[in-house]
Chain A
Amino acid sequence: MATAKEPERNEKKTMRTITYREALREAIAEEMRRDERIYILGEDIAGYGGTYGVTKGLIEEFGEKRVKDTPLAEEVIAGAAIGSALGGLRPIAELMTMNFSLLASDQIINSLAKFRYMFGGQAKLPVVIRMPAGGGAQRGAQHSQMLESLYAHIPGLKLVMPATPYDAKGMLKASLRQDDPILFIEHELLYNVKGEVPDLGVHYTVPLDQGIVRREGKDVTIVTFSRMVHICSQAAEDLAKEGIEAEVIDLRAIRPIDLDLVLDSVRKTNRVVIAEEGWKYYGTGQGIAALIYEYAFDWLDAPIAHVTGKDVPMPYSKVLERAALPGKAEVIAAVKALVPARATAGVGAR
């Protein structure tokens, strides 16, 4: 499987720098202009412009029929999105945070993920549920969670978790042009991240089933997604100064996972660190590790290392929160624990 393409060199001339938030807004606006069946529903998204400002200004262009403020009720936001999709519309449901998706989880898991199946394949469910996840802003135990692993377990859902403005825009546009349910998971601390995006008017989308190699390397593969991509990229830069070349894979979507991209890299580096902000046990990272063990065990020279959030509810205190979140130092330490073992490969591997 080919590495997903970065923008072509000649496109670079037409690139500009915008935030992740602006990239999402552009994607929504462009797709709403293109397809009048797209509408948005959620709490505080209209005049207020969304709790994280993503939908700011959209009501002025598209009106309150297509940018609908709803009552504070996540289950029916998801349920109504499903119902309107059955009727042929393409809803974007914004949940204020992923934490609140738990209130909608019955509709997401029992209806959204299953309705195409339960309608005998005769219904389309082009529903995109957008929601920010993650910690780091001192929002406490109930408002800082990465819950993607709960949903990644469920057949029938696709989970997109872009890390850059380029991917945020391209993947949201792609999400709005296909017919399966998408959980579009943003990260609260990514909204202000800036990055290069093609000029307005330059059309592009990013595939929803392809990861990307953010940095090539031969010594170790770091598999990651969402905000941890940036932390791992910084770690890789630091490691390079010490002569360790880490390959950083940004999965971009965790369901479906671009497993071939991961396995190709593992066969090259023979060492793997999986880094995620979420918890360790029974989660996405462990699932990826199991897939690597299942399909590339013979290529591994060392056990897979796993950098995760601490196994506690997210603390409220700034100091404790910082301690609970995985950071650059832990990624570097995990890599270093694996890479020196190369000298004794064959002895230390098992």
Chain B
Amino acid sequence: MVDTLGARAAHDSHPADPIAAMVNADGLLTAEAERAANISDDVLRDLYRRMAICRRLDQEGLNLQRQGELGLWGPIAGHEAAQVGAAMAMAETDWIFPYYRDFAMTICRGVDPGIAMTWFRGLTHGAWNPYEHRLGPLIISVGTQVPHAVGFAIGCKLDHEPTAVLVGFGEGSTSTGDWHEAMNFAGVFKAPVVFLCENNQWAISVPMREQVAGRVADRAAGYGFPGLRIDGSDVLTVYTVVRAAADRARHGEGPYLVEALTYRFQAHTTSDDPTRYRTDADVEPWRAKDSIARATARLRDRGAFSDDFERAVAAEAEETALAMRATLLSAATPHPGQAFDLVFANPPASLLREQAEFVAELEPGSAE
């Protein structure tokens, strides 16, 4: 298991890759790369703040589910650094195609947490306007968003738009045909995509060693572009590496695969029980790498962390969680007739007839 802890030997199949040179053998940003990247204290504090808020929102999500207010919650604890670091590394004009666990990315993209949460309450398939936030919907079908991201990126190239696309997925996705076909497409067309594997060691109950023979990052070499395994619990590393990969993509140098090693501290979703497939002893070494504690340590090293700051962030997180709860619980239940509304831009007469009949039946005796 120790082998999976650190990054161990940063990927070297593209020896000239300057991004790979930014991290050490443990997949951590080197001191030299940190100096060169020149990430300000304010930016690092903001990354800390966003991670702390998202962790609190995650806890609230779990609470809401346990209280029967959410159908399902997919906990993100352990993924804060990967999601916040990557989302904040992208330019505002870039696009993000998230997978179902990328809740923190939606928050970083400015979606109101209470509105984002209506998705988990089962009120809507499309909680936010993707064009307003440059953010696709959370995708449940494992791996299917990867071809979309690549197609979107190819389209940006056709349009001559200097846009990079970030696509999130877990290591389980890297077993799907969609993922491999999309990686190949991206390589062939030099699509401006940053592939972010949030390798949290578990695909529900299947451990990484049974999912991936070898390393996810190494797979990029087979598709003709670099891949790099990094410490996905260190937000500064994630932020700096993804930012460099997105810059590279925007400059026409093609795709990049980032394998962010992390861990899922909680269940896959609230519908499973992780004690059936792993022990506390499995989890413990990863808790020592906790992203928020490490961001705190980095800020302290810089003399940029104070108790006042910590308290202020905690208070903001608490306030945000309560506001999220309030927004969520007051969100309207959709009218049943709406089921017909969104299928087609130009709906056929048969569907409109079915809708009219349905609504007419509903209305006379409807108790609602």
Contact = CB atoms under 8 A, between A and B. Distances in A.
B38 interface: no
A7 interface: no
Contacts of A178: 345-346
Interface string A199-218: 00000000001000000000
A81 B130 contact: no
A84 B144 contact: no
A88 B150 contact: no
A209 B349 contact: yes
B151 A82 contact: yes
Nearest to A103: B177
Nearest to B188: A71
Interface SS majority for chain B: helix
A75 B177 contact: yes
Contact of A84 (B97, B125, B152): B152
B147 A76 contact: yes
Nearest to B160: A65
Interface stretch (B23-31, B82-90, B179-187): B179-187
A3 to B, nearest CB: 16
Contacts of B148: 79-80, 82-83, 86, 111
A310 interface: no
A88 B155 contact: yes
A275 B82 CA distance: 57
B277 interface: no
A81 B151 contact: yes
A76 B129 contact: no
Nearest to A117: B342
A288 interface: no
| Most chain B Cβ neighbours within 10 Å, of A75, A79, A82, A124 | A79
A118 B130 CA distance: 11
B303 interface: no
A117 B144 contact: no
A241 to B, nearest CB: 37
Interface residues of A, number: 46
Interface in B87-129: 95, 97, 124-129
A79 B130 contact: no
Contact of A256 (B151, B189, B348): B348
B1 interface: no
B345 A118 contact: no
Given A39-B158, A118-B137, A259 B126 contact: no
A194 B300 CA distance: 78
Interface string B314-341: 0000000000000000000000000001
B267 to A, nearest CB: 25
Interface in B149-189: 149-156, 158-159, 177-178, 181-182, 184-185, 188-189
Contacts of B345: 116, 124, 178-180
A248 interface: no
Interface string B255-270: 0000000000000000
Contact of A119 (B130, B177, B184): B130
Interface residues of B, number: 45
A119 B155 contact: no
A120 B152 contact: no
Nearest to B345: A179
Contacts of A131: none
A122 B152 contact: no
Contacts of A84: 151-152, 154-155, 158
Contacts of B146: 79
A70 interface: yes
B152 A86 contact: yes
Contact of B151 (A65, A79, A123, A257): A79
Nearest to B353: A259
A73 B181 contact: yes
Nearest to A116: B342
A156 B184 contact: no
A155 interface: yes
A241 B129 CA distance: 62
A120 B119 CA distance: 11
B339 to A, nearest CB: 9
A79 B147 contact: yes
A63 to B, nearest CB: 11
A16 B137 CA distance: 48
A107 B139 CA distance: 12
B2 interface: no
B144 A256 contact: no
Contacts of B184: 71, 73, 76
A74 to B, nearest CB: 8
A212 B39 CA distance: 67
B75 interface: no
Contacts of B188: 70-71
B343 A80 contact: no
A85 B159 CA distance: 12
Contacts of A209: 348-349
B78 interface: no
B141 interface: yes
A243 interface: no
A106 interface: yes
Nearest to B158: A65
Contacts of B126: 117-122
Interface string B182-213: 10110011000000000000000000000000
A80 to B, nearest CB: 3
B144 A107 contact: yes
Contact of B144 (A66, A70, A71, A106): A106
A75 B158 contact: no
A58 interface: no
Contacts of A83: 97, 147-155
A250 to B, nearest CB: 18
B141 A110 contact: yes
B346 A179 contact: yes
Contacts of B97: 83
B130 A76 contact: no
Nearest to B131: A122
Nearest to B183: A76
B136 interface: yes
A71 B177 CA distance: 14
Nearest to B136: A86
Given A83-B148, A84-B158, 18 more contacts: A68-B189, A71-B185, A75-B181, A79-B147, A80-B151, A80-B185, A81-B151, A83-B147, A84-B154, A84-B155, A86-B148, A87-B95, A87-B155, A111-B148, A120-B127, A122-B130, A179-B345, A257-B350
